[in-house]
Amino acid sequence: MKLTEQILTNPQSAPAPLDNRITLAYGDGIGREIMESTLAILDAAGAGLEYDTIKIGKEMYLEGHASGISPEAWDVLRRNKAFLKGPITTPQGGGYKSLNVTIRKTLGLYANVRPCRAFTPYVKSHFPDMDLVVIRENEEDLYAGIEHQQTAEVVQCLKLVSRPGCERLIRYAFEYARAYGRRKVTCMTKDNIMKHTDGLFHQVFDEVAKEYQDIEADHYIIDIGAAMLADSPGRFDVVVTLNLYGDIISDITAQVAGSVGLGGSANIGSHISMFEAIHGSAPDIAGKGLANPSGLINAACMMLAHLGKGRIAERIQNALLCTLEEGIHTADLYNEAFTKQKVSTSGFTQAVIQRLGQEPSRLKAVRMGQQSKPIEVQVKPYVRPDKKLVGVDVFIDWADGNRIPAELGHQLEKLAGEALQLKMITNRGVKVYPDGFPETFCTDHWRCRFVASASKVDAQGSGMAYAAPVAYSDITNLLQRLTIAGLNFIKIENLYEIDGERAYSLGQGE
């Protein structure tokens, strides 16, 4: 085992961003109205923030900036620790790129945090006891955006999951639970199927959980976990999960809580973090004074807590709850039973400001726990493991004749050479050679697994083909023989043993 230790926290030394000066962008649609409301409340509550304003969104897209942001805006964004962002409208068509994805990836915003709380009876929800936070990995997984068409019939999307990516996120989830006085962190994965990618996430979760004995930790398979979230969300507290699952369940939970219009979210990075409402730019009501600013106000409160101003966030959120329970509602929240006064965006803003310092009597008041201290996450140094090459999966585009796997198998056995042997062929993960079933449907995409040849294994005195090392030149020589034989290989995946453990999945039926 190599004892090279790697410290994986922020290799580039970026200058420390500023705490009291934030970047803000009004955005499109109702953006200006709700941002003005939020800023008025922040100022009235004594947040003591200064602002650098940047332009993003529709105007920037139409000026020709493909990601909806001008190049100069990046310098401002990188100078400040927090970015409060209004909703934006992405024009239809024209190959525009998502601004959120661009910002998330460029600035390394690794955790998406979305609290979901029910505000019954003022906002309808079947689950009055619901009060949970979804913390979703934000950069990896299928969202790395690496997709390829490989054959006429088959396309693929790479699911990338990294140890430091998992660790940073999962540590953030536990630190968040501690800082915000939450008692439990639930991990959701599909590691019964994806043993290596989701398996790594679950494994790192178990490792990190041991360091937080004061916080309860449990795990659900994502399908049953999502069903539970929809059926009995009150049993959850903090949920931490991979990117795709998190994307889906955070929408489910916001919907189930009934609070899509009130929700805020944070995208947390090591240097810079972005805060926004979860709703869109609502162009249908823009400029009419009808917009509910609560989503952005809640996002701004998450920002205050992140900046170490938790007490001010608490004051604002409690004033917001008082306004809600006193029946002072914007049009979207109007209901006969509880609305006493239907107000405009500015009327709502004034009502919140007037209630700063008050606490709600029916709704549970917000208590920030120790959260006036910003959350710091350090990924631990780790020992790089031993990595041994033990074979290769060669993916071949083959549609000859009736696609009889044995024909391809016999040809590959002859081409395997001295150093390698063909172990199996799978089609869409199912073993079709040797000993496949004729019923298995075969596409034109064949995964052909080669391992060290029997003679090489015997020479090593090892009983198991997988245990014998393979040289990189054995693989390049094989690829050359395949090419000369007219076989069209699409890609290869090397098979490794990592610290003596098989580090790849077996084919179904292997």
The one-letter amino acid code at 330 reads T
Confirm if 334 and 348 have CB atoms less than 8 A apart.
Answer: no
Stretch that binds ligand ATP, among 15-23, 276-284, 319-327, 421-429 (CB under 6 A): 276-284
Q: Minimum distance between the CB of residue 465 and ligand ATP, rounded to whole angstroms? A: 53
Min CB(287)–ligand ATP separation in Å: 12
39 versus 495: smaller Cβ distance to ligand ATP: 39
Contact between 130 and 229 (Cβ < 8 Å): no
Among 114, 159, 279, 423, binds ligand ATP (CB under 6 A): 279
* CA 316 and chain centroid, separation: 28
Q: What strands, in cross-sheet order, belong to the sheet with 109-117? A: 50-53, 21-25, 82-85, 273-277, 264-269, 109-117, 131-137, 238-241, 184-189, 216-221
**H-state helical runs in 290-404:** 294-306, 310-325, 345-354
- With CB under 6 A as the contact rule, which of the stretches 125-133, 279-287, 441-449, 487-495 interacts with ligand ATP? 279-287
Cα–Cα dist 265/112, whole Å:
7
In the bound complex, what is the minimum distance in angstroms from residue 262's beta carbon to ligand ATP?
8
Q: Is 261 in the site for ligand ATP (CB under 6 A)?
A: yes
Residue bearing tokens 């990618």: 197
CB 443 within 8 A of CB 151: yes
Q: Which is nearer to ligand ATP, 319 or 448 (CB)?
A: 319
**Quick one: which segment of 100-108, 170-178, 185-193, 281-289 binds ligand ATP (CB under 6 A)?**
281-289
Q: In whole angstroms, what is the distance from residue 299 CA to residue 31 CA?
A: 13
Among 41, 99, 285, 392, binds ligand ATP (CB under 6 A): 285
CB closer to ligand ATP out of 73 and 278: 278
In order of 283, 365, 458, 477, 494, the CA distances from 465 in angstroms are: 63, 63, 9, 19, 15
User: Is residue 291 close enough to count as binding ligand ATP by CB under 6 A?
Assistant: yes
Q: Whole-number minimum distance, CB 138 to ligand ATP, in Å?
A: 18
Contact between 57 and ligand ATP by CB under 6 A: the answer reads no
Piece in contact with ligand ATP (CB under 6 A), picked from 97-105, 283-291, 396-404, 458-466:
283-291
Closest distance of CB 91 from ligand ATP, Å: 12
Rounded CA-CA distance 318/467 in Å is 62
Residue nearest to ligand ATP (CB): 280
Considering only residues 14-53, where is the footprint of ligand ATP by CB under 6 A?
30
Taking the C-alpha atoms of residue 295 and residue 298, their distance in angstroms, rounded to an integer, is 5
Under the binding rule (CB under 6 A), the answer on residue 436 touching ligand ATP is no
Q: With respect to ligand ATP, which residue has the nearer C-beta, 96 or 212?
A: 96
Pairing outcome for strands 420-427 and 445-452: antiparallel
CB 326 to ligand ATP: min, Å: 19
- Segment contacting ligand ATP (CB under 6 A): 112-120, 178-186, 277-285, 476-484? 277-285
Does residue 284 interact with ligand ATP by CB under 6 A? yes
Among 100, 138, 259, 292, binds ligand ATP (CB under 6 A): 292
Largest CA distance in the chain: 86
Q: Is 295 in the site for ligand ATP (CB under 6 A)?
A: yes
Place of tokens 């500023």: 18
Q: What are phi and psi of 138, to 5 degrees?
A: -120, -5
Distance, CA of 448 to CA of 492 (rounded, Å): 9
Measured between alpha carbons, how far is 277 from 83 in angstroms, rounded to an integer?
Answer: 12
Q: How many CA atoms lie within 13 A of 372 on its CB side?
A: 9
- Subset of residues 313 to 342 that bind ligand ATP, contact rule: CB under 6 A: 332
Among 199, 280, 374, 417, binds ligand ATP (CB under 6 A): 280
Nearer to ligand ATP, 280 or 469 (CB): 280
| Among 60, 282, 297, 478, contact with ligand ATP (rule: CB under 6 A) | 282
# binding residues, ligand ATP (CB under 6 A): 12
268 forms beta bridges with 111
Stretch that binds ligand ATP, among 112-120, 218-226, 275-283, 316-324 (CB under 6 A): 275-283
The single-letter code of the amino acid at 493 is E
Strands 216-221 and 501-502: unpaired
Contact stretch for ligand ATP (CB under 6 A) within 48-56, 247-255, 290-298, 440-448: 290-298
369 binds ligand ATP (CB under 6 A): no
Nearer to ligand ATP, 84 or 420 (CB): 84
Reduce the DSSP state of residue 139 to 3 states and report it: coil
User: Minimal CA–CA distance to 205: which of 166, 154, 236, 234?
Assistant: 166
Residues of this chain that bind ligand ATP (CB under 6 A): 30, 261, 279-282, 284-285, 291-292, 295, 332
